[in-house]
Chains A and B, each alone.
Chain A
Amino acid sequence: MDTATQKKWDAASRNFDFISWGDDQRLGPHKRRLFSKMNGATFMLAAGTGNDFRFFPPGHSVIAIDISAKMLERAAKKAAEYEGKIELRQMDVCRLEFGDNTFDTIVTVCTFCSVPKPVAGLRELYRVLKPGGQILMFEHVRSRIGPLGVFLDLMTPLSRRVGPDLNRDTVGNVLKAGFRIRREENVYLDIVKIIEGVKP
C-alpha cells in the first residue's frame, strides 16, 4: 500500500465534503448522465467519502475501493443509503485484489489526477475489465489552452501537497493503458471531461 498517498487522503477526508460541495452541485447532473451507462458487475475506483453514490442509477451492485480508510469510514453511511448494493474495500489501484476480466463497468471520478502512477493504475483497471467492458471516467486534466495550461502547471506543486495534480494528460494515459476511446466530452472548458473507454 502507498502509505504517503494514504496519509494525504486520510487528512483530506476531514474537509472533503465541505470543499467539494459546489462541484457536486454543479457537476452532479453530468455525473448522473455518465453513470446512467453503468451495466453489469461494476467497480468504482476511489470512492472518496461516497459523494458520488447518489448519482448512480438505483439497483446496481457495485464494489467501491479507496486507498484511504478515513474516506471509507465516511463513505459507509452514504453506501448504506444507496438503493442497491455497494461493497466498500480498502485497496490500492496499482495492486487490485481481483482476477483478470472480472468487471463489466469501471467508474472513476477525479481519480487519475491523484494516482501517483496513473498509467500503471489504468493498466491494472484494464486487466480486471472484461473484454468489451467499459470504463466511465469523470476527470479533470491539463488544459491545452496556453495560459490556462501554464497556470495549471504552476499550481500543481502546491495542489499536490494536499490533493490532486492539476496537469495530468489523462486521455493520453487511457490510450497508453490500451483502452480505446469511445467518447470524450468537455464539461468545463477543456479541463473537466467525461472520458468513456472500451477494452477491445
Chain B
Amino acid sequence: MLFTIGDYLAGMLVGAATALGVRIVIWPGMDMVIAMLVGMGLGMAVHIVLGLVLGPAIGMFEAMIPASLIGMYGGMFFAMRDSMAAGSRTLAAALAVGAVFGAIVVAGVHFYDQTLRGAVVDTGE
C-alpha cells in the first residue's frame, strides 16, 4: 500500500516538475513543433533525474517506467499548450495539471501491469 502511494506521489512530482520546466522554457507563440520537441527532451531529462532519485525508494522500474511516459508525453502536451497559451494561465494551475497528468499515467501503468501480470507460459511441470 505504501509503495502504491509512493508510485502516485512520484508520478505527480515528475508531472509537476515537467510542467514547471516546460513553463519556464516555452513561450506563447513559439513554433509548436519546436516547442513539442523541446518539451519532450526536457521531460526526458526530468524523468531521468527524478527517476534515479526516486528509484531506490520505490523500485527502479516502478519509478522509471511511469516517469518516462510522463516526461515524454507530458513534455510534449504541456509544450503544445504553453506555445499556444491555451489554458493553465497561472504557474500553480500548470503544476496542478502536471500532477494530475502524472497520477493518471501511474494509474494507467498500474492497470496495464495488473493485466499483464501472471504466467505467460506454464507447462504445469
Contacts and interface: CB of A to CB of B under 8 A. Distances in A.
Interface stretch (B24-32, B58-66, B76-84, B90-98): B58-66
Interface in A122-149: 140, 145, 147-148
Given A26-B3, A191-B65, A21 B117 contact: no
Nearest to A198: B125
B112 A189 contact: yes
Contact of A151 (B62, B72, B119, B120): B72
Interface string A166-200: 00000000000000011111111111100000100
Nearest to A185: B119
B57 interface: yes
A183 B121 contact: yes
B60 A151 contact: no
B57 A22 contact: yes
Given A186-B120, A188-B113, A198-B125, A22 B60 contact: yes
Interface string B100-124: 0000000001001100111111110
A155 B61 CA distance: 12
The interface size bin for chain B is 20 to 34
Contact of A26 (B59, B117, B125): B59
Contacts of B64: 155
Contacts, number: 79
Contacts of A97: none
Given A19-B55, A26-B3, A189-B113, A184 B120 contact: yes
B68 interface: yes
A25 B116 CA distance: 21
A79 B117 CA distance: 32
B56 A21 contact: yes
Contacts of B68: 148, 151, 155
Nearest to A23: B59
Nearest to B121: A184
B59 A183 contact: no
B69 interface: yes
A18 B60 CA distance: 11
Contacts of B122: 183-185
A148 B57 contact: no
B65 A186 contact: no
Contacts of B48: 158
Given A181-B121, A184-B122, A189-B113, 10 more contacts: A19-B55, A21-B56, A22-B60, A140-B61, A158-B48, A182-B125, A184-B121, A186-B117, A188-B61, A192-B61
Interface of A: 18-23, 25-27, 140, 145, 147-148, 151, 155, 158, 181-192, 198
23 contacts: A20-B56, A22-B55, A22-B63, A23-B60, A23-B61, A25-B3, A26-B58, A26-B62, A148-B65, A151-B68, A182-B125, A184-B119, A184-B120, A184-B121, A185-B118, A185-B122, A186-B116, A189-B65, A189-B109, A189-B116, A190-B116, A190-B120, A191-B61
